[in-house]
Structure 1
Amino acid sequence: MTRGSHEVPYGNPRHALADEAEGYLLAHVHIDQARREAEELCAGMPWLTAAQAEELAGHYVRRRLDVTRQLLHGTVRRAEELRQEYESRYAGLRLALLRRHAACACALLAGAGTVSALAVLLTR
């Protein structure tokens, strides 16, 4: 699913419509599942009037969707935290690797310079 501003944070913008459609379909799957659960709950309470069963089912569906929404928001928040942690760690590892390569290059240049200087001194 995409964010509220319809930006595509990590993916290709061409896939935004597909992501939006997938989110829409997933939302309807959750709604249908909540309705089925509400119907099963009401079926287990035969003493309820039709209006009471309808009210209970509506309340159940709303509450179930609120819980699902909270869980999804928590998952998205945690995924963002992990992404930031991994990006930070990756940047640190990349910097360390760059420093090591720079140190190796400097050592190679110093060694080549030393060998070159020794070769010049020995040939004189």
Structure 2
Amino acid sequence: MIRGRHQEPAGERESGLADEAEGFLLAHAHRDQARREAEELCAGMPWLTTAQAEELTGHYVRRRLDVTRDLLLTTALRAGQLRQEYEARYAGLRRALLKRHAAGVCAVLVCVGGASALACLLAR
């Protein structure tokens, strides 16, 4: 272990690497798709010069990637919010269930104690 650094378990490290590779491939796929769409758009405008078509393609790809990034960040933020809400709700439900079980066990113990006391009184 290197001093001062936290070492991750092998499974988490591999999973993180796989997630990073997947994100990289997904980003490239989005960029390639945006480039194809921009090229199709430019093909529909034959009056553009090559420089204008390249400029339009670059602008379209940048704008499209910005929109995609914003959408993904918004989605990730909302997913985090929902996770917190669900975890809080789950914790509340667990507490309520524990209280009900504890009350049920107490009721059973009271009944058993009462029945035991009644049995002792009747046995005398």
Q: Do the two structures share a fold, i.e. TM-score over 0.5?
A: yes
Which residue type is aligned with residue 120 of structure 2? V
SS in 2 for 1:91: helix
1:98-109 superposed matches below 5 A: 98-109=98-109
- Separation in 1 of the partners of 2:85 and 2:113? 42
Equivalent position of 2:44 in the other structure: 44
Equivalent position of 2:62 in the other structure: 62
TM-score w.r.t. the length of structure 2 is 0.88
SS in 1 for 2:48: coil
Q: Which runs of 4+ in 1 moved over 3 A?
A: none
Deviations 1:53-104 (A, max 9, x none): 1111000000000000011111111111111111111001101100000000
Pick 1 or 2: higher relative contact order, CA cutoff 8 A, min separation 6: 2
Query: RMSD across aligned C-alpha pairs, in angstroms?
Result: 0.9
Equivalent position of 2:85 in the other structure: 85
SS in 1 for 2:46: coil
- Separation in 2 of the partners of 1:35 and 1:45? 15
Structure 2 unaligned runs (5+)?
Answer: 1-10
Structure 1 unaligned runs (5+)?
Answer: 1-11
- Separation in 2 of the partners of 1:21 and 1:119? 71
Equivalent position of 1:17 in the other structure: 17
- Separation in 2 of the partners of 1:17 and 1:114? 62
Query: Identity percentage over the alignment?
Result: 73
